[in-house]
Amino acid sequence: MKRLSVIGLDTAKEQFVSKLMDLGALEVTDEDPQQGDADELAMVPGENPAAAELDQKISDAEAAIEALKEHSPVKSPLFFTRRELKNTDFQSILQHKAEFTEEMNGILDLKEQIRKLNEQRNRKQSDLSSVTPWKAYTLPLNLTETRCTDFTLGIIPSAVSFEDMQTAAAEASETAVLEKVNEDKEFRYLLLITWKPDTAEVEEVLKQRGFTVAAFPEFDENAEAAMVRLHNEIAELTEEVQKVGKQIADRYGQKTDIENLHDQLIMERDQEVLKGRLLNTRRTFRLTGWIPEECMDAAKKMLDSCECYYLFEDPTEDDTVPVLLENNAFVTPFESVTEMYSLPDYKGIDPTRWFSIFYACFFGMMLSDAGYGVILTIATAVILHKFKLEGNLYKMIRMFMYCGISTIFWGAMFGGWFGNSVAAISSTFFHSDAAINPIWFDPIVDPTRLLIFSLGLGVVHIFLGMGLDASMKIRRGHFWDAVFDDFSWYMVIGGIIVMILMSGSSTGFHAGMYIMIAGFIILLLTGGRDKKGIGRVIGGFTAIYNITGFLSDILSYARLLALGLATGVIAQVVNTIGTLSGGGIKGAIIMLIVFVIGHLFNLAINALGAFVHTSRLQYIEFFGKFYEDGGEPFNPFRRDTKYVKLTD
């Protein structure tokens, strides 16, 4: 990365910003405005009133696209991909920008209509539910009085007894009549008829006991008629909503137009926002940012064409430089694993190229069935062929393709082809003992051998991690730290391994033992070298105590065996169940169903397990030895379009 500083004339600003976006390689950093007295020198950020307006339009376009998707029966594809379009073609399409805006507004109008209709319908719905309990009441709902009496409708909670209310009403006024119209789980629905002079008093008494007046001034029919009317109106409104929805669906063809418009607006908005971030004097602007070294030439050409003054600098010690990973074609897909953890520090090591081969290998050993490997490889290859995926998703899918190939390899080594399917089928249906033999050995027969192999791989993996740590320390001039912290452990663990391997010969065993002891002595003497006094002694012992950490790290690789066995055993179980019903046509059909469901389930659950635990081995056991993370991802100023991928 290089730091780029640019000063240019205001007259070239528009052109500069647009070309910078086409270049798409500069991450702009914000600078504090410098204070100055003379306004020629004062650098203040410009303003961007246009950006807010564009934001509004963008969210309109998004709403219109959402509405189209929601109402159209067209299904969206499994993976979303951007349309590729030449920049020149895109510009000529956008000549019709005004039409697109019109189309967008048309759809938004329809959407607004639907909203209003739905609102009306909701209101009718709530009217309906408030009227329904009064169905048995046959007088018009808005009737409140006759010449001498008042009619009041009201509800009480069902916890209140109706008889008590009646007594209370009668006590308040001799003439009061309280009738029950209806009741449900929560409420009782009552009609109160009172002589006009007594009305206020009776209502007061009843209200104290929980009586709530329910008035229906806008209904001049009885409840039953009102319900029929509301039902009809709701049905009409529903139909209306559907009709307008259909109108939106008919306009599905306009989706592409609005998507183009959306992306154009995004680019305009981003340019406006950037203009606002630039520091200005009266006639010039200034900006700084980070640019990858490979893009320097292209940037120079572009800056020259805008007649800007510019300067490339190396980052200093204190800078937080953004991080962009760069790897070869095989390693790149595994970057998604690194990114999921956290990007490396700018001054650290990108671990991807180191762990990629281990990742594929571990995944293959955990899934460990060639049949599943074939399915995984073909499925991912088809996806990659059919969809032009981008970014992280592309990396992931491609990574799983490599993992699938590795699974085929390990599956063949261990003799797993959908478990023991060949042997199971041939013995059930053809009474032969044909089977695919493992190239290496069958872990179910000899698990201890695979356990030792797994732990051995773990040692290699961990040693590589420590080696990276040592190389980083040496590069920074701390050679002795590498010897004390990393090479000493090489001696200890290497010595132990020699002791185990050479346990037959006493010279070999003793050689291993001396190497191990030498390693321990280095650790004991140097473990507390940063500390003072008694801390030095304790530090040495703490360093040795870390042996437990190494042991648990190495044992952790036993999961390679365990998960591999799990896949194999479940596959075997599926095959056993599938062939339980014996040979013949009926047996074949049952077997086929059990095979498809069982093996798909096993593949899904174990592929997830393999992915998760392979990642874990990288994150905990491998990264733990050396990785310095916390880098900020490189985020250049570019065409951040959502639906269209512009090519030059």
Partner 1 sequence: MTGNVWALIGAAVAALAGVGSAMGVGIAGQAAAGVVGEDPKKFGRTLILQALPGTQGIYGLIVTFLIFIRIGLLGGGGMKDLTMAQGLYVFACSLPICIVGIWSGIAQGKAAAAGIMLLGKREDQMGKGIIYAAMVETYAIFALLVSLLMLFNLGF
Closest CA to 619 of 407, 419, 465, 443: 465
d(CA 228, CA 128): 9
- Binding part of the chain for partner 1, among 286-294, 298-306, 469-477, 566-574 by CB under 8 A, reads 566-574
CB 631 within 8 A of CB 14: no
Residue 566 found at the interface with partner 1 (CB under 8 A): yes
Choosing from 126, 146, 432, 576, the residue that interacts with partner 1 (CB under 8 A) is 576
Choosing from 24, 447, 494, 508, the residue that interacts with partner 1 (CB under 8 A) is 447
Q: The tokens of 125 are what? A: 């719905």
Q: What is the DSSP string of 480-536?
A: HHHIIIIIHHHHHHHHHHHHHHTTTSHHHHHHHHHHHHHHHHHHHHHTTTTS-THHH
Q: How many CB atoms lie within 10 A of CB 600?
A: 13
We find the least distance from the C-beta atom of residue 354 to partner 1, in angstroms, to be 19
Residue 97 found at the interface with partner 1 (CB under 8 A): no
Q: How many CB atoms lie within 10 A of CB 380?
A: 20
Using CB under 8 A as the criterion, what x/- string covers residues 302-341 for binding partner 1? --------------------------------------xx
Choosing from 63, 227, 569, 588, the residue that interacts with partner 1 (CB under 8 A) is 569
Residue 615 found at the interface with partner 1 (CB under 8 A): yes
**C-beta closer to partner 1: residue 557 or 626:** 557
Residue with tokens 């009201």: 154
Q: What is the DSSP string of 549-602?
A: HHHHHHHGGGHHHHHHHHHHHHHHHHHHHHTTT-SHHHHHHHHHHHHHHHHHHH
Residues 477-496 that bind partner 1 (CB under 8 A): none
**C-beta closer to partner 1: residue 124 or 559:** 559
Residue 616 found at the interface with partner 1 (CB under 8 A): yes
We find the least distance from the C-beta atom of residue 640 to partner 1, in angstroms, to be 16
- Binding part of the chain for partner 1, among 138-146, 375-383, 543-551, 572-580 by CB under 8 A, reads 572-580
**C-beta closer to partner 1: residue 139 or 340:** 340
We find the least distance from the C-beta atom of residue 555 to partner 1, in angstroms, to be 8
d(CA 114, CA 111): 5
- Binding part of the chain for partner 1, among 58-66, 430-438, 501-509, 551-559 by CB under 8 A, reads 551-559
We find the least distance from the C-beta atom of residue 343 to partner 1, in angstroms, to be 13
We find the least distance from the C-beta atom of residue 573 to partner 1, in angstroms, to be 5
Q: Is the dihedral of CA 503, 508, 509, 512 positive or negative?
A: negative
Total number of residues that touch partner 1 (CB under 8 A): 29
Between strands 279-280 and 284-291, the pairing is antiparallel
Residue 457 found at the interface with partner 1 (CB under 8 A): no
We find the least distance from the C-beta atom of residue 455 to partner 1, in angstroms, to be 12
- The values of phi and psi at residue 495, to 5°, are -60, -45
Residue 448 found at the interface with partner 1 (CB under 8 A): yes
Beta partners for residue 287, in sequence order: 6
Between strands 212-213 and 177-183, the pairing is unpaired
* Largest interatomic CA distance in the chain: 123
Choosing from 563, 603, 644, 646, the residue that interacts with partner 1 (CB under 8 A) is 563
d(CA 71, CA 248): 7
Exposed e or buried b for every residue in 217-226, given b needs 16+ CB within 10 A? eebeebbeeb
Using CB under 8 A as the criterion, what x/- string covers residues 203-242 for binding partner 1? ----------------------------------------
| CB proximity list for 296: less than 8 A, separation 6 or greater | 2, 312
Choosing from 405, 497, 562, 588, the residue that interacts with partner 1 (CB under 8 A) is 562
Residue 461 found at the interface with partner 1 (CB under 8 A): no
CA dihedral 63, 64, 69, 70 (to 10 degrees): 60
Residue 365 found at the interface with partner 1 (CB under 8 A): no
We find the least distance from the C-beta atom of residue 574 to partner 1, in angstroms, to be 10
Which conformational region is residue 602 in: left (phi greater than 0), alpha (psi within -120 to 50 degrees), or beta? alpha
Residue 565 found at the interface with partner 1 (CB under 8 A): yes
Residue 1 found at the interface with partner 1 (CB under 8 A): no
Residue 583 found at the interface with partner 1 (CB under 8 A): no
Query: Given the rule CB under 8 A, which residues bind partner 1?
Result: 340-341, 444, 447-448, 451, 555-556, 558-559, 561-563, 565-566, 569-570, 572-573, 576, 605, 608-609, 612-613, 615-616, 619-620
